[in-house]
Amino acid sequence: MSNITRADFNRYEMNVYNPAPFIPVRGQGSRFWDDADKEYIDFAAGIAVNVMGHCHPEIVRALEEQAHKLWHISNYMCTEPAIRLAKYLVENTFADKVFFANSGGEANEAALKLARRYAYDHYGPEKDQIISFENSFHGRTLFDVTVGGQEKYRTGFGPLPGEVIHVEFNNLEAIKAVISERTCAVMLEPIQGEGGIVPADREFLQAVRKLCDENHALLIYDEVQTGFGRTGYMYAYEAYGVVPDILTSAKGLGAGIAIGAMMTTDSIADTFKPGVHGTTFGGNPLATAVGCRSFELVHNQDFLDGVKKKAELFRELYRELNEEFHCFKEVRGMGLLIGAELTPELSDRLKDIFKACLEEGLFVLTAGHNVIRTVPALNIPDEDIREGFKRYRNALKKLFG
């Protein structure tokens, strides 16, 4: 086998991501190493995916055990791991039924199709309007980018699915002005992730729930980023105490293996009869076996309390960092979904901070146009958090010191 280099990426892959100038080759826990053996502390976890860090022995074992049993059999048959994972999700959420997809975007596509079809079946074809929120992000299928509240992701891809309206997030008057009996669904992230870590107000969610009920519209929560223990709750809706009709989950659910899930109640799920929707790989035995182990590890009160404790340590270290550099206007979020908004003077330095951190051996993410996002593994050791902040400090000192 010939050596693969970073230059080969430009030669052979489409450049939709503009990846870092090195190639990560192995990871362990919350650290990983590149092709020059440089070590990085991982505050990104594969964009809120690797909830148990890299190569967690229990997750590796689940994958290996299933790899020796059954990889793929098709949806002509059901499989034990998928049924088990669906049972875990149903027994521990508001939902009665689960549909498995392969990603967050696909889970959202399924949710949107379900909402439209449910309205069509129960109220007729006129009830087709979908309301979503500015700055939201729901994935990259054509329906997802249409419902997502960021113009840049849909520019040039038209014609787009119709009857989608975007209103300002957390603005009750704005949604009141457009919702009606023609609305079939309202879709939102309880905490906007890609848009800049912007939490919904509790009163706003309560009022949206009420508006949906009054107008016979389904409330869809996209918990692709907020779900699966990320906030210190299994799903963020538990923290808000406002229950949706449909919820999507992905990212952490597979602890690094591609999977998505769309969950709902029996009466809504009934719309998806055989043949109405489907996927070749969704709910395959490998992904769902890993999902089961991931669920068993994360769905544990001590573990979730640990997420909240680690979040406090992040906040404390952010306070220290800000006392020294005064570069953050606000640090916000819930649990280990943390956004640090830069002060207006530094808002054009986001990329510089990201790059300086990488140079110092720390992988952070960005969100929106002025937010540093940290979404580490939920089991990140405290010493890795401290070491990560040392490197963060070095990066800021280099830039602003």
Residues in the site for ligand PLP, rule: CB under 6 A? 47, 103-105, 108, 137-139, 189, 193-194, 222, 224-225, 250
Q: What are phi and psi of 42, to 5 degrees?
A: -105, 100
Interatomic CA distance for residues 329 and 350, integer angstroms: 13
For residues 335 and 193, the answer to whether their CB atoms sit within 8 Å is no
How far is 131 from 333, CA to CA, in rounded Å? Answer: 24
- State in angstroms the smallest separation of the CB of 152 from ligand PLP: 15
Strand ranges for 140-216 from DSSP E: 164-167, 183-188, 191-192, 198-199
Nearest approach in angstroms of CB 338 to ligand PLP is: 15
Whether the CB-CB separation of 259 and 100 falls below 8 Å is answered with yes
- For residue 57, the minimal CB distance to ligand PLP (Å) is 25
Separation CA 42–CA 52 (nearest Å) = 12
Distance CA 224, CA 233 (A): 14
Cβ 101 to ligand PLP, closest distance in Å?
Answer: 9
Structure-block tokens of residue 233 = 């709750």
Nearer to ligand PLP, 224 or 334 (CB): 224
Q: Which is nearer to ligand PLP, 228 or 389 (CB)?
A: 228
Closer by beta carbon to ligand PLP, 138 or else 393: 138
State how far the Cα of 138 lies from the Cα of 180, in Å rounded to an integer.
23
| C-beta of 105 vs 376, nearer to ligand PLP | 105
- Could you tell me how far CA 379 lies from the centroid of its own chain? 17
Local structure of residue 29 (DSSP, 8 states): B
Q: Note if the bond before 159 is cis, omega within 30 degrees.
A: yes
Q: Is 166 helix (H, G, I), strand (E, B) or coil?
A: strand
Two structure tokens written together for 36: 């020059």
The β-bridge relationship of strands 39-42 and 129-133 is unpaired
Q: Which two tokens stand for residue 198?
A: 């912007």
Q: For residues 254 and 306, which CB has a smaller minimum distance to ligand PLP in the complex? A: 254
User: How far apart (Å, rounded) are the C-alpha atoms in residues 248 and 259?
Assistant: 11
Beta carbon of residue 9, minimum distance to ligand PLP (angstroms, whole number) = 19
189 or 245, CB closer to ligand PLP?
189
Q: Is 12 exposed, middle or buried (0-12, 13-18, 19+ CB in 10 A)?
A: exposed
Nearest distance in Å: CB 222, ligand PLP: 5
Tokens standing for 245?
């009709």
Residue 264 parent element (H or E)? strand 260-264
Name 63's bridge partners.
Answer: none
Name the residue nearer to ligand PLP (CB basis): 194 or 360: 194
Closest CB to ligand PLP among 42 and 189?
A: 189
Is the Cβ of residue 225 or residue 264 nearer to ligand PLP in the bound state?
225
Residue closer to ligand PLP by CB (options 138, 293) is: 138
- The Cα 392–Cα 47 span in angstroms is 18
Please, what is the minimum distance in Å from the beta carbon of residue 38 to ligand PLP? 26
- We find the least distance from the C-beta atom of residue 20 to ligand PLP, in angstroms, to be 18
CB of 154 to ligand PLP, least distance (A): 14
